[in-house]
Amino acid sequence: MPRTRLYRDGKLAKEDFPAADISDYVTDPAAVVWLDLCPPEGDDLQLIEEEFGLHVLALEDAVHPGQRPKLDHYGSHLFLSCYAVADPGTPVDPGAPGTLAAHELAVFVTRNALITVRKSTGFDIERVTARWDELANLAECGVGFLLYGLLDCIVDSYFTVTERLDERVDALEDKLFDESRDQIRAVQRESFLVRKDLMRLRRIVLPMREVVNELLRHDSPLVGPTLMPYFQDVYDHLLRVSEQVDSLRDMVATMLEANLTIQGNRLNTIMKKVTSWAAIIAVPTAVTGFYGQNVPYPGFGRLSGLLTSSAIILIGVVVLYWVFRRKDWL
C-alpha cells in the first residue's frame, strides 16, 4: 500500500490515508501532500499522471531503471532522479562484484506535492519520515521542506558508505608493505573492488552535486530564505563526500602503484636466493666431482681422502651460507 502524508498549515494533518483521497487535497492551497510508491503497481502511475498533470517523459524515466542523477524542469513540476546507497558489508566471495548497493529513486515535485517512486525496496523510507518529524518546525515552508528532508537522508547514506570505504582503504594500507604472496594478492583484489565501488559512488555523488546546486541557483519558490541555509548545508555535505571519494581514489591509485614496486622487490629477493642456492649447490658438486676422478689425487682410495672431501664439502657449504646470510642475500 502506498505511504501518504498530508500537511495543512505547517502541521501534519493525516498519515497513510488511501491514495485515492489525494484528489481531495491537491486543490487546497493550504495543503501539502506526500505520496510514496514502492514499487509503483498497476495503474498507480497513470493515476498520478492525471491527478498531478505529470509529463509522459518524466513518467517513463520514473519507470525505467538506470537513469542518471538529474533534475528535469517540466512546466508545472520538477522531476528528480537520484540514488541512495548502502554497504552490505564485505562480500563472502572475494570475486563477487563490488559491494556497493545503489537504490534508485524518482521524485516528482509539484507546487504542493512530493511524490517519491522507489524502484526497489532497499531504501528505508522510515528514516525520511523520522527526519521530517524531527524538523517539524520547518514544515510551514511547504513542499521544499519535504524535499530537504528527503535529500538530507539520501546524502547521509553517502556518508555512511564513504566511511565504510575509508575503513577498507585503511585496512588495505596496513597490509601494503607486507611482501608475502597472499598479502600482495589480497591487496590487488581488494583494491580492485574498492576502486570499483568508488567509481560507482562517484558517478552517483557528482551529478547529485549539480542537482542541488541547480536548486540553489534558480530563484524558485521551492527554496525560500528560511530553507536556503538548509539546502546549502546539503550542498556542502555533497562537496565533502565528493572530496572524500576523490581522496580515497587517490589513495587506492597510490597503493596500486606501490603494489607494483613491492612485487618488484619480491622478484628481486627471489632472484637473489636462486643465485645463492645455485652457488651453494655448486660446492658439493664440484668437490665430489673432483674426488670421483680416476686419477691419483692425494688420498685416492684412502680414508684420508674421504675425510678431506667431506671436510671441504662441509666447510664450503657452511662458509657460503654464512656469507650470503651476512650479505642479506639469503
Where do contacts with Mg ion occur on this chain (CB under 5 A)?
Answer: 68, 203, 207, 239, 243, 247, 250-251, 253-254
Q: Which of 209, 277, 312, 316 binds a second copy (CB under 8 A)?
A: 277
Minimum CB separation of residue 232 from a second copy in Å reads 7
Using rule CB under 8 A, residue 278 touches a second copy: yes
Q: How far apart are CA 51 and CA 46, in angstroms?
A: 9
Helix (H) or strand (E) holding 261: helix 228-291
Per-residue binding string, a second copy, 78-107, x by CB under 8 A, is: -----------------x------------
Q: How far apart are CA 80 and CA 111, in angstroms?
A: 14
Residue of 102, 61, 108 lying closest to 80 (CA atoms)? 108
Interface with a second copy in residues 196-215 (CB under 8 A): 196, 199, 203
Q: Which is nearer to Mg ion, 222 or 241 (CB)?
A: 241
Using rule CB under 8 A, residue 148 touches a second copy: no
Size of interface with a second copy, in residues (CB under 8 A): 84
Q: Which is nearer to a second copy, 130 or 199 (CB)?
A: 199
Look at residue 292 and give the partner it binds from Mg ion, a second copy, none, a contact being a CB closer than 5 to 8 Å depending on partner kind.
a second copy
Joined grid coordinates for residue 132: 521530517
Q: Which of 233, 314, 315, 322 binds a second copy (CB under 8 A)?
A: 233
| Residue 285 one-letter amino acid | T
Q: φ, ψ for residue 311 (rounded to 5)? A: -65, -45
Going from the C-alpha of 95 to that of each of 88, 90, 167, the distances in angstroms are 15, 11, 20
Q: How far apart are CA 152 and CA 135, in angstroms?
A: 11
